[in-house]
Structure 1
Amino acid sequence: MSDPSSGAGANSELREFLRSRRARITPEEAGLSTQPGTRRVPGLRREEVAQLAGVSVDYYVRLERGRHVNVSETVLDALARALRLNDTERGHLFDVARPTIGRSRPMPPQRVRPGLYRVLDLLSDTPALILGRRMDVLAANKMARALYTDFDALPHRDRNMLRFMFLNEAARGLYVDWESAARGTVAGLHLYAGRHPDDARLAELVGELSLRDKDFRRWWADHDVHRRTYGAKDYHHPVVGDLTLGYEAFGSEGDPDQVLGIHTAEPGSPSEQALRLLASWISEPATIRLPGPA
Protein backbone atom coordinates (compact mmCIF):
# COMPACT_ATOMS: atom_id res chain seq x y z
CA MET A 1 0.00 0.00 0.00
CA SER A 2 2.60 2.54 -1.00
CA ASP A 3 -0.15 4.45 -2.77
CA PRO A 4 -2.75 4.59 0.00
CA SER A 5 -5.67 4.94 -2.37
CA SER A 6 -4.68 2.24 -4.83
CA GLY A 7 -5.35 -0.82 -2.69
CA ALA A 8 -2.04 -2.30 -3.76
CA GLY A 9 -1.32 -5.78 -2.50
CA ALA A 10 1.23 -7.33 -0.18
CA ASN A 11 4.23 -7.01 -2.55
CA SER A 12 3.93 -3.22 -2.54
CA GLU A 13 3.67 -3.22 1.23
CA LEU A 14 6.72 -5.48 1.49
CA ARG A 15 8.73 -3.09 -0.67
CA GLU A 16 7.82 0.00 1.32
CA PHE A 17 8.15 -1.72 4.69
CA LEU A 18 11.67 -2.95 3.96
CA ARG A 19 12.70 0.46 2.64
CA SER A 20 11.33 2.24 5.68
CA ARG A 21 12.99 -0.16 8.14
CA ARG A 22 16.47 0.04 6.60
CA ALA A 23 16.21 3.84 6.36
CA ARG A 24 15.98 4.16 10.13
CA ILE A 25 19.15 2.19 11.00
CA THR A 26 22.62 3.71 10.71
CA PRO A 27 25.65 1.60 9.77
CA GLU A 28 27.09 2.30 13.23
CA GLU A 29 23.95 0.92 14.89
CA ALA A 30 24.20 -2.17 12.71
CA GLY A 31 27.86 -2.67 13.65
CA LEU A 32 29.22 -1.88 10.19
CA SER A 33 32.30 0.18 9.46
CA THR A 34 31.53 3.29 7.44
CA GLN A 35 33.38 4.36 4.32
CA PRO A 36 34.63 7.92 3.76
CA GLY A 37 32.41 10.23 1.78
CA THR A 38 28.82 11.40 1.84
CA ARG A 39 26.09 8.77 1.95
CA ARG A 40 23.30 9.43 -0.53
CA VAL A 41 20.62 7.52 1.39
CA PRO A 42 19.56 7.60 5.05
CA GLY A 43 20.16 4.46 7.00
CA LEU A 44 21.49 1.26 5.45
CA ARG A 45 22.13 0.62 1.79
CA ARG A 46 20.60 -2.43 0.15
CA GLU A 47 23.97 -4.15 -0.11
CA GLU A 48 24.54 -3.59 3.62
CA VAL A 49 21.22 -5.21 4.50
CA ALA A 50 22.11 -8.13 2.23
CA GLN A 51 25.50 -8.46 3.95
CA LEU A 52 23.93 -8.44 7.42
CA ALA A 53 21.27 -10.97 6.42
CA GLY A 54 23.70 -13.28 4.62
CA VAL A 55 21.99 -13.17 1.23
CA SER A 56 23.15 -11.95 -2.16
CA VAL A 57 22.61 -8.34 -3.10
CA ASP A 58 20.62 -9.39 -6.17
CA TYR A 59 18.32 -11.54 -4.05
CA TYR A 60 17.68 -8.74 -1.57
CA VAL A 61 17.06 -6.19 -4.35
CA ARG A 62 14.46 -8.49 -5.91
CA LEU A 63 12.88 -9.05 -2.51
CA GLU A 64 12.69 -5.34 -1.71
CA ARG A 65 11.09 -4.76 -5.09
CA GLY A 66 8.39 -7.24 -4.12
CA ARG A 67 9.34 -9.73 -6.82
CA HIS A 68 10.05 -12.78 -4.65
CA VAL A 69 6.97 -14.42 -3.15
CA ASN A 70 8.56 -17.72 -2.05
CA VAL A 71 10.97 -16.30 0.49
CA SER A 72 11.88 -18.77 3.21
CA GLU A 73 11.35 -18.39 6.93
CA THR A 74 15.12 -18.58 7.43
CA VAL A 75 15.67 -15.56 5.18
CA LEU A 76 12.88 -13.60 6.83
CA ASP A 77 14.36 -14.33 10.25
CA ALA A 78 17.75 -13.13 9.02
CA LEU A 79 16.21 -9.93 7.64
CA ALA A 80 14.36 -9.33 10.89
CA ARG A 81 17.63 -9.58 12.80
CA ALA A 82 19.51 -7.40 10.31
CA LEU A 83 16.85 -4.69 10.45
CA ARG A 84 16.46 -5.04 14.22
CA LEU A 85 12.72 -5.62 14.03
CA ASN A 86 10.72 -6.07 17.20
CA ASP A 87 8.24 -8.95 17.54
CA THR A 88 5.35 -6.97 16.05
CA GLU A 89 7.42 -5.79 13.10
CA ARG A 90 8.75 -9.31 12.54
CA GLY A 91 5.20 -10.68 12.40
CA HIS A 92 4.24 -7.95 9.96
CA LEU A 93 7.23 -8.81 7.76
CA PHE A 94 6.09 -12.44 7.59
CA ASP A 95 2.53 -11.33 6.77
CA VAL A 96 3.48 -9.10 3.87
CA ALA A 97 6.26 -11.35 2.51
CA ARG A 98 4.23 -14.55 2.54
CA PRO A 99 0.62 -13.62 1.76
CA THR A 100 -1.94 -16.33 2.42
CA ILE A 101 -3.62 -17.82 -0.63
CA GLY A 102 -7.30 -16.93 -0.80
CA ARG A 103 -7.10 -13.67 1.13
CA SER A 104 -9.00 -11.89 -1.63
CA ARG A 105 -12.20 -13.80 -0.88
CA PRO A 106 -15.08 -11.61 0.34
CA MET A 107 -15.13 -11.09 4.09
CA PRO A 108 -18.32 -12.09 5.89
CA PRO A 109 -19.97 -9.44 8.09
CA GLN A 110 -18.65 -9.32 11.64
CA ARG A 111 -21.09 -10.12 14.42
CA VAL A 112 -20.72 -9.49 18.13
CA ARG A 113 -21.63 -12.52 20.22
CA PRO A 114 -24.51 -12.07 22.68
CA GLY A 115 -22.14 -12.98 25.50
CA LEU A 116 -19.92 -10.03 24.68
CA TYR A 117 -22.91 -7.71 24.72
CA ARG A 118 -23.64 -8.99 28.22
CA VAL A 119 -20.05 -8.24 29.20
CA LEU A 120 -20.54 -4.65 28.05
CA ASP A 121 -23.75 -4.46 30.07
CA LEU A 122 -21.88 -5.58 33.19
CA LEU A 123 -19.17 -2.94 32.70
CA SER A 124 -21.47 -0.12 33.70
CA ASP A 125 -18.91 2.08 35.46
CA THR A 126 -16.05 2.10 32.95
CA PRO A 127 -15.75 2.68 29.19
CA ALA A 128 -15.63 -0.48 27.07
CA LEU A 129 -16.03 -1.11 23.37
CA ILE A 130 -15.53 -3.78 20.75
CA LEU A 131 -13.44 -3.00 17.70
CA GLY A 132 -13.48 -5.02 14.51
CA ARG A 133 -11.76 -4.88 11.15
CA ARG A 134 -10.12 -1.58 10.28
CA MET A 135 -10.88 -0.49 13.90
CA ASP A 136 -14.59 -0.30 13.12
CA VAL A 137 -16.61 0.22 16.30
CA LEU A 138 -18.89 -2.82 16.49
CA ALA A 139 -20.32 -2.12 19.96
CA ALA A 140 -19.84 0.33 22.81
CA ASN A 141 -21.29 0.71 26.28
CA LYS A 142 -22.75 3.94 27.60
CA MET A 143 -19.48 4.99 29.23
CA ALA A 144 -17.53 4.62 25.98
CA ARG A 145 -20.21 6.64 24.24
CA ALA A 146 -19.87 9.38 26.86
CA LEU A 147 -16.07 9.35 26.74
CA TYR A 148 -15.63 9.40 22.96
CA THR A 149 -18.70 10.16 20.88
CA ASP A 150 -22.16 8.82 20.12
CA PHE A 151 -21.12 6.24 17.55
CA ASP A 152 -24.72 5.02 17.38
CA ALA A 153 -25.78 8.35 15.87
CA LEU A 154 -23.20 8.11 13.07
CA PRO A 155 -23.64 6.45 9.67
CA HIS A 156 -22.28 2.90 9.65
CA ARG A 157 -19.17 3.80 7.62
CA ASP A 158 -18.24 6.51 10.14
CA ARG A 159 -18.32 4.17 13.16
CA ASN A 160 -14.58 3.79 13.08
CA MET A 161 -11.83 4.89 15.46
CA LEU A 162 -9.59 6.19 12.66
CA ARG A 163 -12.37 8.36 11.25
CA PHE A 164 -13.14 9.60 14.76
CA MET A 165 -9.48 10.32 15.45
CA PHE A 166 -8.74 12.23 12.25
CA LEU A 167 -12.07 13.61 11.02
CA ASN A 168 -13.83 14.54 14.26
CA GLU A 169 -12.48 17.82 15.62
CA ALA A 170 -13.55 16.86 19.14
CA ALA A 171 -10.94 14.06 19.17
CA ARG A 172 -8.07 16.53 18.99
CA GLY A 173 -9.28 18.15 22.17
CA LEU A 174 -10.13 14.89 23.92
CA TYR A 175 -6.63 13.38 23.83
CA VAL A 176 -4.01 15.31 25.80
CA ASP A 177 -1.33 13.89 23.47
CA TRP A 178 -3.38 13.60 20.32
CA GLU A 179 -0.37 13.01 18.06
CA SER A 180 0.83 9.98 20.01
CA ALA A 181 -2.67 8.49 20.13
CA ALA A 182 -3.27 9.17 16.45
CA ARG A 183 0.06 7.70 15.35
CA GLY A 184 -0.73 4.61 17.40
CA THR A 185 -4.00 4.08 15.55
CA VAL A 186 -2.24 4.48 12.19
CA ALA A 187 0.39 1.92 13.21
CA GLY A 188 -2.37 -0.44 14.31
CA LEU A 189 -4.14 -0.04 10.97
CA HIS A 190 -0.89 -0.83 9.14
CA LEU A 191 -0.62 -4.04 11.12
CA TYR A 192 -4.13 -4.96 9.99
CA ALA A 193 -3.24 -4.06 6.38
CA GLY A 194 -0.45 -6.63 6.46
CA ARG A 195 -2.96 -9.37 7.28
CA HIS A 196 -5.68 -8.16 4.90
CA PRO A 197 -4.04 -6.44 1.92
CA ASP A 198 -7.06 -7.05 -0.31
CA ASP A 199 -9.67 -5.52 2.00
CA ALA A 200 -11.53 -3.11 -0.28
CA ARG A 201 -12.97 -1.16 2.65
CA LEU A 202 -9.48 -0.72 4.05
CA ALA A 203 -8.34 0.79 0.76
CA GLU A 204 -11.36 3.11 0.84
CA LEU A 205 -10.61 4.18 4.40
CA VAL A 206 -6.91 4.79 3.77
CA GLY A 207 -7.65 6.68 0.58
CA GLU A 208 -10.21 8.94 2.24
CA LEU A 209 -8.05 9.74 5.25
CA SER A 210 -5.00 10.35 3.06
CA LEU A 211 -6.92 12.90 1.01
CA ARG A 212 -8.51 14.64 3.96
CA ASP A 213 -5.73 14.73 6.57
CA LYS A 214 -2.06 15.51 5.96
CA ASP A 215 -1.00 14.00 9.31
CA PHE A 216 -2.54 10.66 8.44
CA ARG A 217 -0.98 10.77 4.98
CA ARG A 218 2.49 11.43 6.42
CA TRP A 219 2.28 8.82 9.17
CA TRP A 220 0.85 6.16 6.87
CA ALA A 221 3.89 6.64 4.63
CA ASP A 222 6.15 5.85 7.63
CA HIS A 223 4.95 2.21 7.58
CA ASP A 224 5.23 1.86 11.35
CA VAL A 225 3.36 -1.05 12.92
CA HIS A 226 2.30 -1.46 16.51
CA ARG A 227 0.05 -3.77 18.50
CA ARG A 228 -1.43 -2.12 21.58
CA THR A 229 -2.54 -4.64 24.16
CA TYR A 230 -2.34 -2.44 27.24
CA GLY A 231 -1.17 0.96 28.38
CA ALA A 232 -2.53 4.31 29.53
CA LYS A 233 -3.77 7.51 27.90
CA ASP A 234 -4.50 10.99 29.18
CA TYR A 235 -7.79 12.65 28.30
CA HIS A 236 -9.33 16.07 28.74
CA HIS A 237 -13.07 15.49 28.74
CA PRO A 238 -15.35 18.51 28.18
CA VAL A 239 -17.61 17.48 31.09
CA VAL A 240 -15.42 15.83 33.73
CA GLY A 241 -12.02 17.36 32.93
CA ASP A 242 -8.67 15.57 33.06
CA LEU A 243 -8.37 11.84 33.59
CA THR A 244 -5.78 9.15 33.03
CA LEU A 245 -7.19 5.81 31.96
CA GLY A 246 -5.45 2.51 31.52
CA TYR A 247 -6.61 0.19 28.77
CA GLU A 248 -6.55 -3.54 28.25
CA ALA A 249 -7.27 -5.21 24.92
CA PHE A 250 -8.64 -8.76 24.75
CA GLY A 251 -8.80 -10.77 21.53
CA SER A 252 -11.73 -12.97 20.56
CA GLU A 253 -11.18 -16.68 20.01
CA GLY A 254 -14.02 -16.79 17.51
CA ASP A 255 -12.86 -13.78 15.46
CA PRO A 256 -9.17 -12.79 15.46
CA ASP A 257 -10.10 -9.38 14.02
CA GLN A 258 -12.36 -8.53 16.96
CA VAL A 259 -11.02 -6.93 20.14
CA LEU A 260 -12.68 -6.00 23.43
CA GLY A 261 -11.10 -2.85 24.85
CA ILE A 262 -11.66 -1.88 28.49
CA HIS A 263 -10.57 1.34 30.20
CA THR A 264 -9.73 1.46 33.89
CA ALA A 265 -8.80 4.11 36.44
CA GLU A 266 -6.46 3.78 39.41
CA PRO A 267 -8.53 3.11 42.56
CA GLY A 268 -8.92 6.20 44.70
CA SER A 269 -7.44 8.47 42.06
CA PRO A 270 -8.94 11.70 40.68
CA SER A 271 -9.48 9.78 37.44
CA GLU A 272 -11.70 7.27 39.25
CA GLN A 273 -13.70 10.16 40.65
CA ALA A 274 -13.97 11.63 37.17
CA LEU A 275 -15.31 8.33 35.84
CA ARG A 276 -17.92 8.28 38.60
CA LEU A 277 -18.91 11.80 37.64
CA LEU A 278 -19.14 10.72 34.02
CA ALA A 279 -21.35 7.78 34.99
CA SER A 280 -23.67 10.03 36.98
CA TRP A 281 -23.88 12.40 34.02
CA ILE A 282 -25.35 9.63 31.87
CA SER A 283 -29.09 9.22 32.28
CA GLU A 284 -29.67 6.36 29.86
CA PRO A 285 -28.31 3.06 31.26
CA ALA A 286 -28.73 0.93 28.13
CA THR A 287 -25.76 -0.41 26.23
CA ILE A 288 -25.17 1.24 22.88
CA ARG A 289 -25.37 -1.67 20.43
CA LEU A 290 -23.97 -0.92 17.04
CA PRO A 291 -24.62 -3.36 14.18
CA GLY A 292 -21.19 -4.32 12.90
CA PRO A 293 -20.26 -3.27 9.38
CA ALA A 294 -18.89 -5.88 7.01
Structure 2
Amino acid sequence: MRESPAIGVTAVTPNRAGSDVASRDGHPERHPRHITASVQQLLNAMKDVPALVQNGRLDVLSSNPLGQALFSEMFEQVAQPPNFARYVFLDPRAENFYRDWNSAAAQTVALLHAEAGRSPDSRQLSAGRAHSNGQQIMP
Protein backbone atom coordinates (compact mmCIF):
# COMPACT_ATOMS: atom_id res chain seq x y z
CA MET A 1 0.00 0.00 0.00
CA ARG A 2 1.13 3.55 -0.52
CA GLU A 3 -0.12 6.97 0.41
CA SER A 4 -0.43 9.55 -2.31
CA PRO A 5 1.01 12.84 -1.07
CA ALA A 6 -1.30 14.77 -3.39
CA ILE A 7 -4.54 13.79 -1.69
CA GLY A 8 -3.78 11.22 1.02
CA VAL A 9 -5.63 8.28 -0.53
CA THR A 10 -4.54 4.76 0.24
CA ALA A 11 -4.04 2.74 -2.91
CA VAL A 12 -3.62 -1.01 -3.01
CA THR A 13 -1.35 -1.76 -5.94
CA PRO A 14 -0.31 -5.14 -7.30
CA ASN A 15 3.29 -6.05 -6.67
CA ARG A 16 5.69 -6.19 -9.61
CA ALA A 17 5.41 -9.98 -9.79
CA GLY A 18 1.69 -9.55 -10.33
CA SER A 19 0.71 -12.07 -7.66
CA ASP A 20 -2.31 -10.01 -6.65
CA VAL A 21 -3.59 -9.65 -10.18
CA ALA A 22 -4.98 -12.41 -12.34
CA SER A 23 -4.97 -12.69 -16.09
CA ARG A 24 -7.45 -14.79 -18.01
CA ASP A 25 -5.05 -17.74 -18.18
CA GLY A 26 -4.03 -17.48 -14.51
CA HIS A 27 -0.53 -16.12 -15.19
CA PRO A 28 0.56 -12.68 -13.98
CA GLU A 29 0.31 -10.02 -16.66
CA ARG A 30 2.16 -6.75 -17.18
CA HIS A 31 -0.91 -4.53 -17.51
CA PRO A 32 -3.57 -6.40 -15.59
CA ARG A 33 -7.27 -5.86 -16.15
CA HIS A 34 -8.62 -7.89 -13.23
CA ILE A 35 -7.90 -8.34 -9.55
CA THR A 36 -8.25 -11.44 -7.42
CA ALA A 37 -11.14 -12.01 -5.07
CA SER A 38 -8.81 -11.59 -2.08
CA VAL A 39 -7.75 -8.11 -3.22
CA GLN A 40 -11.39 -7.13 -3.76
CA GLN A 41 -12.16 -8.44 -0.28
CA LEU A 42 -9.36 -6.27 1.11
CA LEU A 43 -10.76 -3.23 -0.70
CA ASN A 44 -14.24 -3.94 0.62
CA ALA A 45 -12.88 -4.26 4.18
CA MET A 46 -11.35 -0.79 4.00
CA LYS A 47 -14.56 1.00 4.95
CA ASP A 48 -13.08 4.16 6.52
CA VAL A 49 -10.62 5.14 3.78
CA PRO A 50 -10.89 5.60 0.00
CA ALA A 51 -8.93 2.84 -1.71
CA LEU A 52 -8.39 1.63 -5.24
CA VAL A 53 -6.24 -0.67 -7.34
CA GLN A 54 -4.58 0.58 -10.51
CA ASN A 55 -2.19 -0.90 -13.05
CA GLY A 56 0.95 0.71 -14.46
CA ARG A 57 -1.00 2.57 -17.15
CA LEU A 58 -3.05 4.14 -14.34
CA ASP A 59 -6.22 2.25 -15.28
CA VAL A 60 -8.39 1.78 -12.19
CA LEU A 61 -9.06 -1.94 -11.85
CA SER A 62 -11.30 -1.73 -8.80
CA SER A 63 -12.15 0.47 -5.85
CA ASN A 64 -14.09 0.49 -2.65
CA PRO A 65 -17.24 2.66 -2.36
CA LEU A 66 -15.35 5.60 -0.78
CA GLY A 67 -12.72 5.47 -3.52
CA GLN A 68 -15.40 5.56 -6.15
CA ALA A 69 -17.15 8.43 -4.37
CA LEU A 70 -13.94 10.45 -4.01
CA PHE A 71 -13.02 10.01 -7.68
CA SER A 72 -16.61 10.06 -8.95
CA GLU A 73 -15.74 12.46 -11.78
CA MET A 74 -13.07 10.07 -13.05
CA PHE A 75 -15.51 7.15 -12.90
CA GLU A 76 -17.87 9.15 -15.13
CA GLN A 77 -15.40 8.95 -18.05
CA VAL A 78 -16.89 7.58 -21.25
CA ALA A 79 -13.71 5.63 -22.02
CA GLN A 80 -13.34 2.63 -19.74
CA PRO A 81 -11.69 1.60 -17.55
CA PRO A 82 -11.38 4.82 -15.56
CA ASN A 83 -7.86 6.17 -15.92
CA PHE A 84 -5.99 8.74 -13.84
CA ALA A 85 -3.96 10.10 -16.76
CA ARG A 86 -7.07 10.72 -18.86
CA TYR A 87 -8.73 12.38 -15.90
CA VAL A 88 -5.77 14.61 -14.99
CA PHE A 89 -5.04 15.76 -18.54
CA LEU A 90 -8.33 15.55 -20.42
CA ASP A 91 -11.01 16.37 -17.87
CA PRO A 92 -11.17 20.10 -17.07
CA ARG A 93 -12.72 19.29 -13.68
CA ALA A 94 -9.41 17.78 -12.55
CA GLU A 95 -7.84 21.23 -12.20
CA ASN A 96 -10.42 22.03 -9.52
CA PHE A 97 -10.23 18.60 -7.90
CA TYR A 98 -6.51 18.65 -7.12
CA ARG A 99 -5.28 21.27 -4.67
CA ASP A 100 -2.01 21.42 -6.66
CA TRP A 101 -2.88 20.32 -10.18
CA ASN A 102 0.66 21.01 -11.47
CA SER A 103 2.09 18.58 -8.92
CA ALA A 104 -0.58 15.97 -9.72
CA ALA A 105 0.19 16.34 -13.43
CA ALA A 106 3.93 16.00 -12.85
CA GLN A 107 3.41 12.89 -10.70
CA THR A 108 1.16 11.38 -13.35
CA VAL A 109 3.75 11.97 -16.08
CA ALA A 110 6.48 10.51 -13.85
CA LEU A 111 4.42 7.38 -13.21
CA LEU A 112 3.74 6.94 -16.93
CA HIS A 113 7.42 7.49 -17.79
CA ALA A 114 8.44 4.90 -15.19
CA GLU A 115 5.96 2.40 -16.61
CA ALA A 116 7.15 3.13 -20.15
CA GLY A 117 10.69 2.33 -18.95
CA ARG A 118 9.48 -1.00 -17.54
CA SER A 119 7.47 -1.74 -20.69
CA PRO A 120 9.45 -0.21 -23.56
CA ASP A 121 7.52 -2.22 -26.18
CA SER A 122 4.14 -0.90 -25.06
CA ARG A 123 2.76 1.05 -28.00
CA GLN A 124 0.16 2.72 -25.80
CA LEU A 125 2.77 4.14 -23.46
CA SER A 126 5.50 4.94 -25.98
CA ALA A 127 3.02 6.86 -28.12
CA GLY A 128 2.07 8.98 -25.11
CA ARG A 129 -1.33 7.40 -24.70
CA ALA A 130 -2.89 6.22 -21.44
CA HIS A 131 -5.33 3.97 -23.20
CA SER A 132 -6.10 2.73 -26.69
CA ASN A 133 -8.84 5.33 -27.16
CA GLY A 134 -6.33 7.41 -29.13
CA GLN A 135 -6.45 10.57 -27.04
CA GLN A 136 -2.90 11.83 -26.50
CA ILE A 137 -2.15 12.79 -22.93
CA MET A 138 1.59 13.42 -23.03
CA PRO A 139 3.77 15.24 -25.56
Same fold? TM cut 0.5: yes
Q: Which residue of 2 aligns with 1:205?
A: 129
Deviation at 1:165, TM superposition (A): 0.8
Q: Which of 176, 185, 191 is the aligned partner of 2:114?
A: 191
TM-score in terms of structure 2 length:
0.65
Q: Provide the C-alpha distance between the structure 2 equivalents of 1:165 and 1:108, rounded to a whole number of angstroms.
A: 20
List runs of 5+ in structure 1 lacking aligned partners: 1-105, 211-215, 218-294
Deviation at 1:209, TM superposition (A): 2.7
Aligned 8 A contact 1:158 1:164 in 2: no
Aligned 8 A contact 1:166 1:209 in 2: no
Deviation at 1:109, TM superposition (A): 4.9
Aligned 8 A contact 2:74 2:87 in 1: no
Deviations 1:196-249 (A, max 9, x none): 111133236167334xxxxx43xxxxxxxxxxxxxxxxxxxxxxxxxxxxxxxx
Q: Structure 1 residues 135 and 127, CA, compared in 2 at 3 Å: closer, same or farther?
A: same
Q: Provide the C-alpha distance between the structure 1 equivalents of 2:45 and 2:82, rounded to a whole number of angstroms.
A: 23
Q: Structure 1 residues 188 and 162, CA, compared in 2 at 3 Å: closer, same or farther?
A: same
Q: Which residue of 2 aligns with 1:225?
A: none
Q: Residue type matched to 1:185 in 2? A: T
Report the secondary structure of 1:129's partner residue. Answer: strand
Backbone CA RMSD of aligned residues? 2.5
Deviation at 1:184, TM superposition (A): 0.6
List runs of 5+ in structure 2 lacking aligned partners: 1-28
TM-score in terms of structure 1 length:
0.33
Deviation at 1:142, TM superposition (A): 1.2
Q: Which residue of 1 aligns with 2:51?
A: 128
Q: Which of 113, 120, 141 is the aligned partner of 2:64?
A: 141
In the TM superposition, 1:169-188 aligns within 5 A as: 169-188=92-111
Q: Tell me how many residue pairs correspond in the alignment.
A: 107
Q: Structure 1 residues 131 and 109, CA, compared in 2 at 3 Å: closer, same or farther?
A: closer
Q: Structure 1 residues 108 and 136, CA, compared in 2 at 3 Å: closer, same or farther?
A: closer
Deviations 1:135-158 (A, max 9, x none): 111011111111112555444545
In the TM superposition, 1:27-176 aligns within 5 A as: 109-149=32-72, 151-157=74-80, 159-176=82-99
Aligned 8 A contact 1:127 1:141 in 2: yes
